[in-house]
Amino acid sequence: MKMSWRRVTTGAAAAALGLGLLTGCGSNDDSGASGSAESTSAAASGGDITVFAAASLKGTFTELGEMFETANPGSHVEFSFAGSSDLAAQLDQGASADVFASADTNNMKKVVDAGLVAGTPVNFATNTLTIVTAPGNPKGITSFADLNREGTLVVTCAPQVPCGSATQKVETASGVDLTPVSEESSVTDVLNKVTAGQADAGLVYVTDAAGAGDKVTAVPFPEAAQAVNTYPIAALSASKQPEAAQGFLDLVTGPEGQAVLAKAGFAQP
């Protein structure tokens, strides 16, 4: 979709596809935890940057991109939203970007291990799973175990995708092994299957369910607490606009970015 001020791409668009990565990202690193949109304007003004971000961040990061451009006249932010594993694979195959925001630490670790990150990634949000159904919950699903009822069509994320990895953790914690009719490459694809009536239920993040509004009914379940995903963000070493990249990172991890994320339902790391 082409816009006058940026291009937002969804899905795995560029190079090849691959897998995932990070264990201990620093959560309070001074390089990523300070600024507001205003405080980054001098350093970032005029920088055009590309941000690779997890599909579940589309709504919040689009809003933050607008804030960044307003505060930094002449700057442009281009987003590529997809499953974190797809984005990590694209970066490993040489795709050009300035910032990477993953929906889990494992996929960030792969990018770090490939030597593609400048500095230390910063954890900026957490997210948990919920069940979504058609409006009104016509199947009467009230628990995670109900997803295994005969005749219930369930969709999940693929195991290599952060929401799929979280689903596997919930299965282990609950002792319930799901038999999904499809495994999708991003959490938004799962949501779309449910809203399109192609599935009775799906497992998505609470933020995706909230963003869908009355298109779905959300069914929380206690086992989700066993699979909280932590989101790290990092500037990339190949960036041609390192100051602008750091400026966007500072916005995400600073007070204004955290407020936007909290409004969408993300929790702090």
Kindly state whether residues 70 and 92 are assigned to the same domain. Answer: yes
Kindly state whether residues 118 and 242 are assigned to the same domain. Answer: yes
Q: pTM for this one?
A: 0.82
Kindly state whether residues 217 and 240 are assigned to the same domain. Answer: no
What is the pLDDT at residue 47?
A: 81
Say if 219 falls within a structural domain: yes
From residue 177, alpha-carbon distances to 51, 189, 222 in Å are 35, 21, 16
Domain residue limits at 252 = 48-126+230-264
Kindly state whether residues 112 and 237 are assigned to the same domain. Answer: yes
What is the pLDDT at residue 65?
A: 98
84: annotated binding-site residue? yes
The tens-digit pLDDT sequence of the chain (269 residues) is 333 333 344 443 333 333 333 333 333 344 333 444 444 443 444 689 999 999 999 999 999 999 999 999 999 999 999 999 999 999 999 999 999 999 999 999 999 999 999 999 999 999 999 999 999 999 999 999 999 999 999 999 999 999 999 999 999 999 999 999 999 999 999 999 999 999 999 999 999 999 999 999 999 999 999 999 999 999 999 999 999 999 999 999 999 999 999 999 999 99
Task: Give the C-alpha separation, 191 to 207, whole Å.
Answer: 11
Say if 71 falls within a structural domain: yes
Task: Give the C-alpha separation, 130 to 133, whole Å.
Answer: 10
Contact 203, 257 (CB under 8 A): no
Say if 98 falls within a structural domain: yes
Say if 20 falls within a structural domain: no
56: annotated binding-site residue? yes
Kindly state whether residues 245 and 122 are assigned to the same domain. Answer: yes
Question: What are the helix (H) ranges across the chain?
Answer: 41-44, 58-71, 84-92, 105-113, 162-174, 187-195, 206-212, 242-253, 255-264
Q: How many CA atoms lie within 13 A of 117 on its CB side?
A: 24
231: annotated binding-site residue? no
Kindly state whether residues 59 and 111 are assigned to the same domain. Answer: yes
| Triad 211, 215, 217: Cα angle to 5° | 85
CATH number of the domain where residue 116 is located: 3.40.190.10
Which among 6, 73, 7, 79 has a CA at the least distance from the CA of 37?
Answer: 73
Say if 17 falls within a structural domain: no
Domain count, the chain: 2
205: annotated binding-site residue? yes
Kindly state whether residues 115 and 236 are assigned to the same domain. Answer: yes
What is the pLDDT at residue 9?
A: 42
Q: What are phi and psi of 231, to 5 degrees?
A: -105, 115
Kindly state whether residues 163 and 222 are assigned to the same domain. Answer: yes
